[in-house]
A and B are shown apart, each in its own frame.
Chain A
Amino acid sequence: MSEPRARRAAVTGIGVIAPNGTSTETFWKSTQEGVSVLDRITREGCEHLPLRVAGEVRDFEPADAVEERFLVQTDRFTHFAMAAADLALEDARLGRADTGEEPFSVGVVTAAGSGGGEFGQRELQQLWGKGSRFVGPYQSIAWFYAASTGQISIRRGFKGPCSVVAADEAGGLDALAHAARAVRRGTDLIVAGSTEAPLAPYSMVCQLGYEELSTVEDPAHAYRPFTDGACGFVPAEGGAMVVVEEEYSARERDVRVRAYLAGHAATFTGASRWDRSGEGLAQAIRAALDEAGCAPEEIDVVFADALGVPEADRAEALAIADALGSHGKRVPVTAPKTGTGRGYCAAPVLDAAAAVLAMEHGLIPPTPNVFDVCHDLDVVTVRARAAELRTALVLSRGLMGSNSALVLRHGAVDAS
């Protein structure tokens, strides 16, 4: 009896709704050009708050992307998720007819950091302003972390394994890893990723307690990790969804394998314990490399977490040096999120999308607003750098102490 072939998790579709682009093409164009779209927050009811700068998604009209009956029962974070899922599925050439034949072979995994704050605020204002009878029933589901997974699966008729990862910002990478595991276990397709909408009054007030948050008013100076000017991070909304598909399912459909989800690991080192996050991140990198069967020297680019807090930046630089050895000083490091802001769980998923696009284009996007790096890292600044990229490492840490690493292999590489 022959050995059953190993099932491999491939990325076959990418859908992006980001501050710097509401399609994968515009996102990549802005990302590789190093455009920063950080700007003063314009959202109603937020003007008086001490958080001034963020990455807003301004070029997105929910009604153009999603049916009204799904819009009325969901928060903005789920509007982004449904729209991004559609884009990813379209990119993977999966129409409703394709997935409708075998609905149990398609699942959904999302990660969420805060759920539907804007919807929740509106309904709670009804509760305290008018009374409990004026709270709409969709409040019961719309602000829930799980809302995006549920609504994507209902709207597209997916009946395969569905789940939600609530694991801090790094949960965005964990969701991709969870999808990869589901594919290896037997599901053909998982729509996976994260979108967030933390730029509404209630949600913003919740963030004001984070000492890592940047309250700098100048967009060009508000988020500058790895420099002496590091002053915290800038939040963002939007995110990305990807189609994770079993390699042979993709080949049978004659769809391009854009990348492989080759290895992942996660560790936990405690909330805001940035001194200890380095050790945890290094261990996550080592374990992810191990799962991917990847030597440190094979890593061609690192998409850094880049929190922008001096102690956290130092810990990340040390983690890269620790886990990659001497290669850690040579490998190009980038953090395109300095141009868009940090969308909590969505941030590392956007980084993973950018990593796939970078490998496809042989181009490492730069780190906007960062020029004067004060760590022993080769940070790509100012303009994109051409390079042959076969393997990318994406790093993420959460404010509550989670650390994750994901190894992506270029689709053209046959690592088997």
Chain B
Amino acid sequence: MSDRITLEELAELMKKAAGVTVSPQQLQEQYDAGFDTLGIDSLGLLGIVGELENRYSTPMPPDAERSKTPRQFLDLVNSAFLAGA
């Protein structure tokens, strides 16, 4: 497994779990935009967290599903990954 979740993987998960199509480049540009403006609601983010947990067989930090922006989310899950590595 890779040591961190990338923008590419987040974009793929947003499509898979929440049906939102966004390119990694767009995600980079909207790194600090709210998930809500990207079309991801709280259940969508919960689905992304669940998908990551199943994919990497590791629990995500409890606050991950409350992240407001892609930056917050990736910082949080990646810090957990680094701590667990």
Of the candidate stretches A69-77, A283-291, A341-349, the one touching chain B is: A69-77
Task: Identify A140's interface contact among B18, B43, B44, CB under 8 A.
Answer: B43
CB–CB A133/B47 < 8 A: no
Instruction: Classify the interface of chain A: helix, strand, loop or mixed.
Output: helix
**Cα–Cα, bound, A136→B20 (Å):** 16
CB–CB B50/A69 < 8 A: no
Return chain B residues, CB-CB under 8 Å to A41. none
**Cα–Cα, bound, A141→B44 (Å):** 12
Q: Is B17 on the interface with A (CB-CB < 8 A)?
A: yes
Q: Which of A305-364 contact B (CB under 8 A)?
A: none
Return chain A residues, CB-CB under 8 Å to B50. 133-134, 136-137
Q: Is A68 on the interface with B (CB-CB < 8 A)?
A: yes
A138 touching B53 in the complex, CB below 8 Å, given contacts A69-B20, A72-B19: no
Q: Is B79 on the interface with A (CB-CB < 8 A)?
A: no
**Cα–Cα, bound, A137→B39 (Å):** 16
Q: Is B72 on the interface with A (CB-CB < 8 A)?
A: no
**Cα–Cα, bound, A69→B40 (Å):** 8
Instruction: Classify the interface of chain B: helix, strand, loop or mixed.
Output: helix
* Least distance between B40 CB and chain A CB atoms (Å): 8
Task: Identify A137's interface contact among B19, B20, B21, B47, CB under 8 A.
Answer: B47
CB–CB A137/B53 < 8 A: no
Residue from A69, A70, A133, A141 with most neighbouring chain B CB atoms (10 Å): A69
Residue from A72, A73, A137 with most neighbouring chain B CB atoms (10 Å): A137
Q: Which of B19-60 contact A (CB under 8 A)?
A: 19-21, 39, 43-44, 46-47, 50, 53-54
CB–CB A69/B18 < 8 A: yes
Q: Which of A59-80 contact B (CB under 8 A)?
A: 67-73
Return chain B residues, CB-CB under 8 Å to A134. 50, 54
CB–CB A70/B47 < 8 A: no
A70 touching B19 in the complex, CB below 8 Å, given contacts A133-B50, A137-B50: yes
A residues within 8 Å of B by Cβ? 67-73, 133-134, 136-138, 140-141
* A-B contact list, 10 entries, CB within 8 Å: A69-B19, A70-B19, A72-B17, A73-B18, A73-B44, A136-B47, A137-B46, A138-B43, A138-B47, A140-B43
List the 5 closest A-B pairs by CB distance, nearest first: A72-B19, A69-B19, A68-B19, A137-B43, A137-B46
